[in-house]
Structure 1
Amino acid sequence: MRTTFVTGAVLLATFGTAAVPASGMPARPPVPAKDMVIDVVAANGSGCPRGTAAVTVSPDNKAFTVSYSEFTAQAGAGTKPTDFRKNCQLALNVHVPQGYTYAIANTDYRGYAHLERGASALQTSFYYFQGESKTTRYRHALSGPLDSDYQRTDTLGVASLSFLPCGEQRYLNVNTELRVSAGSSDRKKTSFLTMDSTDGNLDTIYHVTWQKC
């Protein structure tokens, strides 16, 4: 078993508009000719200390991965009082190809949870564009006993999509928090929640919709 947890965030893009032709079949959206370029402007929080988060853009220009090396919350035996909560705030500079804009449509979160009977955990996430007051927030609760990989999906309705204003360059802010409560569990045992899997490599997937300006 690896002692260093590794996790990631992947942005899968559906390029173009959601136009539907007369045949009733969705039009196949075009892919921008220029590649996306994503920079981590800032990474703050106990879940992603300095130097533990990095971005990699996929070769097909349809995804980017934010990799972490430390992001685990735990409670119970052998833990510190501050270990029950871990968070990571990322400011991502997404260089959008000219003539396009995007919005996050849904997000798949995957991780690993080991919760003793009586223990519980909470994963909270929200994201928004710099300067916007509108924040999309989701929470997912887990309860013990549990010892397995988990996956949760956040889905936005069409009316809730928030597109980056065309022609503007704003940071995409992503904030994720993990909390674990020992509750009534055996205090001689440890419960934890991590943005990771048993093989030490996992992805959090941000699906986005692209539009032409």
Structure 2
Amino acid sequence: MARCGASAVAMAALLLLIAAATPALAQPASVTISGVTFGGNGCSWSNSEYSYSSNSKTITFIFGGMVATTDGGLEDRRKVCQISMSISYPDGWTYTLGQVTGRGFADIAKGSQGIYETHFYFSGQTGTPRVSRILPGKFVDSFEFTDDFSTSVWSQCNNTPNLNIKSVVRVEGSQAVMALDSSDTKFQLVYYFDWKEC
């Protein structure tokens, strides 16, 4: 690959930012993240880490394996990370993920493609909103895009179910890498919460 190969990528990062969709919208006075678990072939406890912000509304994940490439075997073509978060907030509120912004790097030959997708669900509830982006080759550049989730699913009122997010990066065809430029800082996913009173 011209700028980015699997061996050149030491670590991909996922920034997960939890915030109100816009400052003008109402939101609870107190929101805390009380627990996080994650796993998958794009992240593990041995090559990944996360940290909370001081206000517990932002959590940053650094993943060591969120790089999909055609240079390896079948498992290298699809990288996934499943995140489960316990979020505490006052009664009388409900929330959903409204948008996600993804930033990264792709080096995709003509006839190949890179695919980013993410979906979420609340534990014990039905509905799985999702977003998906396809980058067809020839494409060699950084990318950034913001998407609305396909449908809207809100957490149950006066309940704090776990929020589960699954992110997938995969490549198809003969020659493609989707992740980050080795000279760039990180692969980022920024999730925006919408809140409403119930």
Provide the residue aligned with 1:171 in structure 2. Answer: 162
Provide the residue aligned with 1:95 in structure 2. Answer: 88
Which amino acid in the other structure matches residue 60 of structure 2? Answer: T
Tell me by how many angstroms 1:128 deviates. 0.7
Tell me by how many angstroms 1:99 deviates. 4.4
Structure-1-length-normalised TM-score: 0.76
Tell me by how many angstroms 1:198 deviates. 3.7
Deviation per CA, 1:181-203: give whole Å up to 9, x if none: 234x5xxxxx2111677423232
Q: Aligned partners of 2:136 and 2:75: how far apart in 1?
A: 20
Structure 1: gaps spanning 5 or more residues: 19-25, 186-190
Q: Aligned partners of 2:27 and 2:111: how far apart in 1?
A: 50
Q: Residue 83 of structure 1 aligns to a residue in which SS?
A: helix
Q: Aligned partners of 2:194 and 2:53: how far apart in 1?
A: 17
Q: Aligned partners of 2:40 and 2:180: how far apart in 1?
A: 14
Structure-2-length-normalised TM-score: 0.81
RMSD: 2.8
Relative to 1, partners in 2 of residues 1:14 and 1:95: Cα closer, same or farther, differing over 3 Å? same
Relative to 1, partners in 2 of residues 1:143 and 1:11: Cα closer, same or farther, differing over 3 Å? same
User: What aligned pairs does 1:44-123 form with structure 2 within 5 A after superposition?
Assistant: 44-76=39-71, 79-123=72-116
Q: Aligned partners of 2:173 and 2:25: how far apart in 1?
A: 49
Q: Residue 184 of structure 2 aligns to a residue in which SS?
A: coil
CA contact (8 A) 1:71 1:195 kept: no
Which amino acid in the other structure matches residue 36 of structure 2? Answer: V
What count of residue pairs does the alignment treat as equivalent? Answer: 192
Q: Residue 141 of structure 1 aligns to a residue in which SS?
A: strand
Relative to 1, partners in 2 of residues 1:197 and 1:94: Cα closer, same or farther, differing over 3 Å? farther
Structure 2: gaps spanning 5 or more residues: none
Deviation per CA, 1:53-111: give whole Å up to 9, x if none: 443333355433233222101003xx223211111111111222454332111111111
Q: Aligned partners of 2:67 and 2:163: how far apart in 1?
A: 23
Rg larger for = 1
The counterpart of 2:132, out of the listed 136, 139, 142, is: 139
Segment drifting more, 169-178 vs 191-200 = 191-200
